[in-house]
Structure formats: C-alpha cells, structure tokens
A and B are shown apart, each in its own frame.
Chain A
Amino acid sequence: DIVMTQSPDSLAVSLGERATINCKSSQSLFYSSNNANYLTWYQQKPGHPPKVLIYWASTRESGVPDRFSGSGSGTDFTLTISSLQAEDVAVYYCQQYYSIPLTFGGGTRVEI
C-alpha cells in the first residue's frame, strides 16, 4: 500500500499570508506513459464533505480560486495557498490514485 504522509498536522497563518502544506508518498506517483502524477488535493470544511481542489498534482479544478496551487512530482508534493482568506479555514487532504488501495494523507488543519 502507498502511505501518504502530510506535514504539518496543523498550521496557523495570518490573513493574506502564504500557507504551505506538504504531502509525501511512500513510492512514486509519476506514471511515465502519460507523464502525470496521480495526486489530488481536497479541502474539507467542518460539517461538509471534501471538495476537490487540485488533481494531476497541479491542475486546478474548475471554480477553485487561483490562490490555490499544487506542485511537485514523484514522491513530494505541495499545496500552496498564496494569500489566505477566512473562508480557507479547513482541513486539507492529499490522495494518491496511482494504485489500489487508494489512500489519503492524514490531513492538515489550517487556521487563522
């Protein structure tokens, strides 16, 4: 099974400041045949189901503000919120879809 490790577990960021969340996989998520990293980022607000933000490690889902960006390749990935807004308070999860079982990181709580 691919183990997904997120860091930090939580972080507090001032409004307008940058938030950076890391996700490390126990094996590469890069598939050379299509030159793609099988990594997604979700945002989950209290009392709500998760919402997809980024897929293929760096492709922003339609409707997601451009302050959210994803980067990385292979085993190391990053979600960046360039200028934190109050509505970004949430828990963020990475997920690999390279192999079964599909697995998630443990989550990172972002607070103001």
Chain B
Amino acid sequence: EVQLLESGGGLVQPGGSLRLSCVASGFTFSNYWMSWVRQAPGKGLEWVANIRQDETEKYYVDSVKGRFTISRDNSMNSLYLQMDSLRVEDTAVYYCVRGARDSRYAFFDYWGQGTPVTVSS
C-alpha cells in the first residue's frame, strides 16, 4: 500500500523558516517525480514545487521561488521542503504527492494526509 507521511508543520512567525518532511512507503520512491501541493484554509489547491527522481530538475510556482527549496533523499525514501522567509499567505496544509507520470507534467495519484503550516505573529 502506498503511503506518504508528512511532518514538520507548525506555527511560525513571518520571516521564519520551517522544513517539511515526507516519508514514502509501498512503492519504489526513486522511480517517481514528487511534488508539494498546498491548500490554504477554506481555499483551493495550489501546486508548489516538484522534483525529478535524480534531483536534476526542480520547478516552483512563482510565489515561492527564491524562498522554498525542494529536495529528496532516495536512500531514506524522503521528500523535503525547506521554507524560508515565510509569509502570512504561505499558511496552508501542505501535501506530499506522487507524480503519476515520468514527467514534470503530471497529475497526482497518491496524496499524504497533509501537514498544517501557520504563519502568524
């Protein structure tokens, strides 16, 4: 059974940092593109970033470029999102998701339960 388990969310002040983690199981993690998708309270879905299997390609939505960094450790079956210079508008539930295609152009066939991030003073 495919499982994605996020952790690392919490309350942080504007300008602060957080590192989200996602541990994958039930599939060969190193074979898949992975992404982070977020959902602000009561709002819709927003793709944040994705990463190729070997980390040679990474893509970001404009609103987080230069502030967030996606990475992975295939030996640990883990995906990460380093979030710096956090803003109030980054408040959301962050989902770790698996790409359903071997491409940066993918939909998402498995989702974690999400980890909440609140940016507030």
Interface on A for B, CB 8 Å cutoff? Answer: 1, 38, 40, 42, 49-52, 55, 61, 93, 95, 97-107
Contact size range, B: 20 to 34
Q: Is B68 an interface residue (CB 8 A)?
A: no
Q: Which residue of B lies closest to A44 (CB)?
A: B45
How far is the CB of B20 from the nearest CB of chain A, in Å? 15
By Cβ-Cβ distance, the 6 closest A-B pairs, closest first, are: A49-B111, A40-B107, A102-B47, A104-B45, A101-B61, A97-B105
What would be 17 A-B contacts, judged by CB atoms less than 8 Å apart? Answer: A50-B45, A50-B108, A50-B111, A52-B108, A93-B44, A95-B107, A97-B106, A100-B104, A100-B105, A101-B59, A101-B60, A101-B62, A102-B35, A102-B47, A104-B44, A104-B46, A105-B44
> Does more than half of chain A's interface fall in helix, strand or loop, or is it mixed?
loop
Decide: B47 and A49 in contact? CB cutoff 8 A. no
Contacts A101-B61, A103-B47 given; does A49 touch B113 at CB 8 Å: yes
Rounded to whole angstroms, the CA-CA distance of A61 and B108 in the bound complex is 11
